[in-house]
Amino acid sequence: MEDTKHIHISDYNYPLPEERIAKFPLPVRDQSKLLVYRNGNINETRFTSLPDYIEPGMLMVFNNTKVIQARLHFRKETGALIEIFCLEPIQPNDYALNFQQTGHVAWLCMIGNLKKWKEGVLSRQMTVKGQNVILTASRGEARGTSHWIDFKWNNPNVTFADILEVFGELPIPPYLNRETQESDKVTYQTVYSKVKGSVAAPTAGLHFTQRVLDALKAKGVDLEEVTLHVGAGTFKPVKSEEISGHEMHTEYISVSRHTIGQLIAHQGKAIAVGTTSVRTLESLYYIGVTLHQHPDANDADLHVKQWQPYETHPTLTPVEALQCILDYMDRHGLEALHTSTQIIIAPGYEYKIVKRMVTNFHQPQSTLLLLVSAFVKGDWHRIYDYALSHDFRFLSYGDSSLLINE
């Protein structure tokens, strides 16, 4: 583990010209380019050809999270514009329950133009479902760089989900350097998004269309879904020289009993669509290890800590670890496992469940690039050099890659 903790993030830098960052998606999302990396060999095709590289009977796992319109703007009486960016729910702390509330919720938020909001309550009038609503925001304690924010509104027929839908703005990535547009409400969601909660899209999934999904099913590929709500921390740059100084943000995951069963039926092997699915699937292995050692573990014990994979040397197979989760769910009558993870996947990590991954091209010096490097055994330079020299588009709205390492 010491080697992993002492990785210098500067070793994971590469030149990314501004013009290579895709500011907008292609008109047809599955027409993006697809780089295929198979055990050191690189070629390219169109994303519509993805099913050609997946064998019948394989299991492909998607993240079905849905991006919420998490940015709220208030104007003070002085004229100052304050942005409140909702990060994660506090009261209630369950996403679905929070969105259903009528009258009051609390969220952990980042605040833009904080220096202009020293005190007082922010207020905004709006029309929701044809009814007048006054929404107020009051600031509570600071938690790191974020703040506790209480939202209150005066109409019992209006939920917080309704307010975000009308009043909120979709938070597109900061590196796009542009304002959110109406079209982003459609193009910055996957076609299979279902469960509200993310403040960033699981962008590897943006390339999928119904015809690609249908082609995968027709080929006999099994499709399953997990939920990981992507936090703003996904854009958090690594500022420490060594990654030991970088704290991963906590992400909330949900996996159904059926999906665990499917993973076991596929010998604990899966193709992950996106780095969020990778982190969810790999976290499951360590949750299973915890339950093997402590069958009566509580919810807090199941949280996967950042360095847990490097500090333990479990001998369980992936199927055995997954079976421990299934047994735990059966004992507690659970249809879904709800927990959280801070896992960091970097060179030195040994993948347990993910055998292939679909992923975009990531920012220089990011934890996502570390995750990719760990998967391709350090060969990321050749992949990215190829993409840069063959006109691939980068980052959230950019092109795709299929990485095969088995």
Beta-strand (E) ranges in 154-246? 195-198, 222-229
Comparing CA positions, the residue from 393, 392, 260, 400 lying closest to residue 320 is 260
- Residue 124 near residue 133, CB atoms below 8 Å: no
**Which pLDDT score is estimated for 231?**
84
- Residue 303 near residue 339, CB atoms below 8 Å: yes
Per domain, the residue ranges of the chain are 2-66+186-404, 70-169
Strands 59-63 vs 270-273: parallel, antiparallel or unpaired: parallel
Comparing CA positions, the residue from 255, 263, 207 lying closest to residue 229 is 255
Give the amino acid at 89: P
Strands 59-63 vs 222-229: parallel, antiparallel or unpaired: parallel
Residues contacting residue 271 through CB under 8 Å, at least 6 positions apart = 54, 58, 59, 60, 61, 354, 355, 356, 357, 358
Question: Rounded distance, CA 34 to CA 233, Å?
Answer: 27
Residue 220's SS3 state is coil
**Token pair belonging to 94:** 């369950």
Please return the burial class of 28, using the count of CB atoms within 10 Å of its CB with bins 0-12, 13-18 and 19+.
Answer: exposed
CA neighbours closer than 13 Å in the CB half-sphere of residue 293? 12
How does 36-53 read in b/e, with b if 16+ C-beta sit within 10 Å?
bbeeeebebeebbebbee
**Which pLDDT score is estimated for 219?**
98
CA-based Rg of the chain, rounded to a whole angstrom? 21
- Residue 85 near residue 151, CB atoms below 8 Å: no
> Tokens 């050692």 identify what position?
293
> Tokens 């847990």 identify what position?
308
**Which pLDDT score is estimated for 52?**
98
**Token pair belonging to 366:** 């990011």
Which DSSP helix (H) or strand (E) runs through 302?
Answer: none
Comparing CA positions, the residue from 48, 57, 67, 20 lying closest to residue 276 is 67
**Which pLDDT score is estimated for 203?**
95
**Which pLDDT score is estimated for 236?**
74
What's the distance, CA 17 to chain centroid? 25
pLDDT in tens, the chain (406 residues): 558 999 999 999 999 999 999 999 999 999 999 999 998 999 999 999 999 999 999 999 999 999 999 999 999 989 999 999 999 999 999 999 999 999 999 999 999 999 999 889 999 999 998 999 999 999 999 988 899 999 999 999 999 999 999 999 999 998 898 999 999 999 999 999 999 999 999 999 999 999 999 999 999 999 999 999 998 777 777 899 999 999 998 899 999 999 999 999 999 999 999 999 999 999 999 999 999 999 999 988 999 999 999 998 899 999 999 999 999 999 999 999 999 999 999 999 999 999 999 999 999 999 999 999 999 999 999 999 999 999 999 999 999 999 998 8
CATH fold label, 2-66+186-404 = QueA-like (3.40.1780)
Residues contacting residue 296 through CB under 8 Å, at least 6 positions apart = none
Phi, psi of 249 (to 5 degrees): -80, 155
**Which pLDDT score is estimated for 403?**
98
Residues contacting residue 2 through CB under 8 Å, at least 6 positions apart = none
